[in-house]
A = this chain, B = another copy of it.
Amino acid sequence: MSDEGPSCPAPFAAYDRVVLAHGGGGRATHQLIETLFRKAFDSDELREAHDGAVLALEGPTAVCTDGFTVRPLFFEGGDIGSLAVHGIVNDLACCGAIAEALTVSFILEEGLPLATLERVARSLGAAARACNARVVAGDTKVVERGRGDGVYIACTGLGRVRARLAPKRIRPGQRVILSGSAGEHGIAVLLARGDVAIGSSVKSDSREISSIVHGLIDADVALSCARDPTRGGVATALCELARTAKVGVRIDEGSVAVSDGVRDACELLGLDPLYVACEGRVLLFVDESDAERALAIVRAFDAQAALIGEVCQDDDALVTAVGPFGGERVLDMLSGEQLPRIC
């Protein structure tokens, strides 16, 4: 270093966008890991610089995986980084597990500003820390301009199982609780695309619901199954569960909280809020005798939580919704694609 002129730039310091070499496994990949990812995700396992991480897992372990391709990357209430963490932590919670470790695989598009990647990585790291989960292994691939869409993330989570929750444990007579209002995430992403405008703003519900599920487990509530109603919304999640458990489900449509913004957007677009994705809500199946107690616990997390329905015997595994005027309609799985790429 001399006083007489600008110092020699560090190798690759000049990159401000993702180049193919960042996925090549050589110098640029290493620089990306050392200057950006390790700062965002620091963990003992990543510092080992090995091909993978070695974990001491005790007892039954849940493993969940999800790809994230949400467009745009940033939206009111979240971004692809925090969404990936919440998605996986919530899937683990629905398996009765507490998230311990995450792996993150990035597929980046050539030309992505590194500042954008850094913002995503920091958000992912912060969300993981907030959920007490460590990022223990990762990978980066880069595809040519026009062969991706900025950032895709595949995330896998490992967690310690505390309770056996499963669709097959759902029984007639059990009550269904929804932990908050429906459809905010899907509508927030749609609005962030700028294709529609409504009077009010809608913030994604993206959040972890693990503390709700484990709050119920801690309180020894007779909980048989939990499911986060993501793609396809509350209606599709209920249809899936009914089919797997070979039971019917009957819900009272009026008891499902829907915010004004979601209602306005759904009316404008001809969408049904029951089919719009949530990313921070959970459907909980509890024994009738524990239903009120469970609801009180869930309401401590979200005042809009409600008992929305009950499980009944039905070999056809129908899910029906009773409307405000007493009419009953059959809810089927989402057919076709309503809102592509909302997660």
Contacts and interface: CB of A to CB of B under 8 A. Distances in A.
Interface of A: 19-21, 23-30, 48-57, 60-69, 91-92, 94-95, 97, 101, 103-107, 136-144, 146-149, 152, 154, 156-158, 161, 164, 166-168, 227-228, 230-232, 236, 240, 244, 277, 332-338, 340-341, 343
Main secondary structure of the interface of A (DSSP, over half): mixed
A53 B63 contact: yes
Given A20-B337, A24-B334, A60 B65 contact: no
Contacts of A158: 63, 158
A27 B95 contact: no
Given A53-B63, A63-B158, A67-B106, 10 more contacts: A25-B230, A26-B334, A28-B336, A30-B333, A49-B167, A103-B156, A105-B105, A107-B154, A152-B152, A154-B156
Given A19-B337, A26-B336, A55 B63 contact: yes
Contacts of A143: 69, 149, 152, 341
Nearest to A19: B337
A194 to B, nearest CB: 17
A152 B29 CA distance: 19
Q: Which among A97, A105, A106 has the greatest number of chain B C-beta atoms within 10 A? A: A105
18 contacts: A21-B336, A23-B231, A25-B231, A49-B167, A49-B244, A52-B63, A52-B64, A52-B94, A54-B60, A55-B60, A55-B61, A56-B60, A57-B61, A64-B137, A67-B140, A67-B154, A107-B107, A142-B340
A57 B140 CA distance: 27
Contacts of A24: 231-232, 334, 336-338, 340
A207 to B, nearest CB: 17
